[in-house]
Amino acid sequence: MASGDGLLVRVRPFLGRLTRRQALALCDGAERFGTGLIEVTNRANLQLRGVPEQHWSELLAHLAEHGLVDSDPDTERRRNMLVTPDWQAGDDTHQLATRLMARLGDLPELPGKVGFAIDAGTAPLLAGVSADFRVERSADGGLLVRADGHARGTAVTSVEEAVEGLVRLAHWFVDSGGWEAGRMRRHQALLPSWAPRQALPAACRDRPVLGQHPRGLLIGIPFGRVTAPALREVVQGALVGDVRVTPWRRLWIEGGMPDCTGGLPTDEEDPRLVVDACPGAPWCNQASVETRRLAEALASQVPGSVHVSGCRKGCARRQPAALCLTGRDGRFDLIVEGRADGVPEVTGLSEAEVLDYLKHHFPAGA
Ligand code: SF4
């Protein structure tokens, strides 16, 4: 898609995972055809920015050569699927995701944001991540299929039945007018009788913390952006180097070693992690301000969450932040305990004025 700095190219890793070879190819592609920046989205996708139109087909060929894209755009669009990142080969999540990928052609045309979550580990891990239809572990240890907006789902007895349930729900959504609602959560139609709300999901698991795990090193991606050289350093320095992409702007480097972090956070206390910032100018053509410089200046200066947004759309963070700065006409509006489109406490600040204001007015400012 077009963006302020050229084309933005989104890669949807298959099963949320890149092999070491694919990860390195992605880094090469980002540098050869784009700005060298790789974004990690809250849908566990990866994005390359700043690709000139004349390089688009070369980049696509490069991604196809390394198995990073589907064979056709229609399949790519339908493969809107989140997979719990700690799946193991052959487990329920792996089987479900593989079977659903094989059934993509059976899905109806769905609104662009409608997607699936395959979350069948020992307990749900993706409950806080946006998805319209889910397979989850139920409280009694079985599997259930659940439509977003409903606390309970339909118990199923096999992975085949679960995938069939997802496909049927997708058809029911479209046939019952789901395109008008756009997302399942907003869809008012009563669920069909063959999808009874009988089974409760198990209590959610805690999100894995940054650092070394038996599986590998979990690293944070501040502001959801990493440079190709930094990612390459981590991948090349790891024992295995395959990469699991999570929806929390964190990457799991399989077999990662603690001394190969590429300068990326491996500690939950890293102040860069409390700041959300969208690409801003010049990357997005709706932004009138640069966001990253201010975001970096604010990290560690403000207690609680911080959101720096290039405009009122607030792409980087939907929920309120303790402090939100929204760009408008080249300056910032300051919102306390709110979202990017909230009512500002102060308007029209330059970057320097923001920092000065916080020093004097924000309770624990610098
Ligand atoms: S919040 Fe605005 S400026 Fe930032 S990425 Fe979204 S549309 Fe662009």
The confidence score (pLDDT) of residue 318 equals 83
Q: How far is the CA of 51 from the centre of ligand 1 (A)?
A: 18
Give yes or no for residue 314 CB within 6 A of ligand 1. yes
The helix (H) or strand (E) run that includes residue 119 is: strand 116-119
Residue 4's pLDDT band, with cuts at 50, 70 and 90, is: low
The confidence score (pLDDT) of residue 91 equals 97
Q: Is residue 365 scored above 50 in pLDDT? A: no
Domains of the chain, each with CATH number or no CATH: 2-70+211-254 (3.90.480.10), 87-186 (no CATH), 271-361 (3.30.413.10)
Q: How far is the CA of 171 from the centre of ligand 1 (A)?
A: 33
- Atom of ligand 1 at shortest distance to CA of 310? 3
The confidence score (pLDDT) of residue 325 equals 97
Q: Is residue 366 scored above 60 in pLDDT? A: no
Pocket test for ligand 1, best of 8, 315, 333 (most atoms within 8 A of CB): 315
Looking at the DSSP bridge assignments, the partners of residue 115 are: none
pLDDT in tens, 87-143: 999 999 999 999 999 999 999 999 999 999 999 999 999 999 999 999 999 999 999
- What DSSP state is assigned to residue 257? -
The confidence score (pLDDT) of residue 312 equals 94
pLDDT in tens, 14-73: 999 999 999 999 999 999 999 898 999 989 999 998 899 999 999 999 999 999 999 888
Parallel/antiparallel/unpaired status of strands 250-254 and 216-220: antiparallel
Q: Is residue 258 scored above 80 in pLDDT? A: no
Give yes or no for residue 315 CB within 6 A of ligand 1. yes
Give yes or no for residue 224 CB within 6 A of ligand 1. no
E strands present in the chain: 2-3, 6-11, 17-18, 37-40, 46-51, 81-83, 116-119, 133-137, 143-147, 154-156, 211-213, 216-220, 225-227, 243-245, 250-254, 275-277, 306-309, 321-328, 331-338, 346-349
Q: How far is the CA of 291 from the centre of ligand 1 (A)?
A: 10
Give yes or no for residue 280 CB within 6 A of ligand 1. yes
pLDDT in tens, 270-298: 888 888 998 888 888 889 999 988 998 88
Mean pLDDT of the chain: 92
pLDDT in tens, 317-362: 888 999 999 999 999 999 999 999 999 999 999 999 999 998 887 6
